[in-house]
Amino acid sequence: MALLGVSGVVAGQLVNARREARRWRREQVRDDVRWAREQRRWAEERDFETERYWRDQRFPIYTAFLAAISNLRVEMTYAGDTLREGAELDRARRESLVHLAATARDLYAPLGVVGPPMSVTRPPS
C-alpha cells in the first residue's frame, strides 16, 4: 500500500512538472511575441522621428538655398540688362555677383546631405 502511495505522489509530481513546463513554454512564446511587437513599434517610432528630423532640417536648408538663388537671379537680371545696354558692370556689382554665386554654391552643398524629401508616414499607434 505504501508503494502505491509513493508511486501516486511521484506520478502526481511528474504530471505537475509536465503541466508546469507546458505553461512555461506558452508564457515564453507569449513573451517573445510581445517583445517582437514592442521592438517593431520602437523601430517604427525611430523611423518616424528620423524622418521628421530630416524633414525639419530640409526646410531651412532649401529655404536658404532658394533665397540665395533668387538673389543671384535678380542680380544677374540687372547685370544682363546693363550689359545689353552696352554699359560695363561696376566693380561693386561684379563683386556682388561673385559673392552671391559663392553663397548659392555653399548653400547647395548641404542639399546633398539632406537629400530629396521623403513621404511622411503617420506615427505608429
Domains of the chain by residue range: 2-114
Average pLDDT over residues 75-88: 90
Per-residue confidence band for 96, with pLDDT thresholds at 50, 70 and 90: very high
**Taking Cα atoms as reference points, which of 109, 110, 104 lies closest to residue 54?**
110
Q: What is the mean pLDDT of the chain?
A: 86
The DSSP secondary-structure symbol of 87 reads P
**Taking Cα atoms as reference points, which of 125, 124, 121, 112 lies closest to residue 51?**
121
CB 52 within 8 A of CB 124: no
The 10s digit of each residue's pLDDT in 22-64 is: 999 999 999 999 999 999 999 999 999 988 888 888 888 889 9
Its pTM stands at 0.53
Residue 72 is which amino acid? L
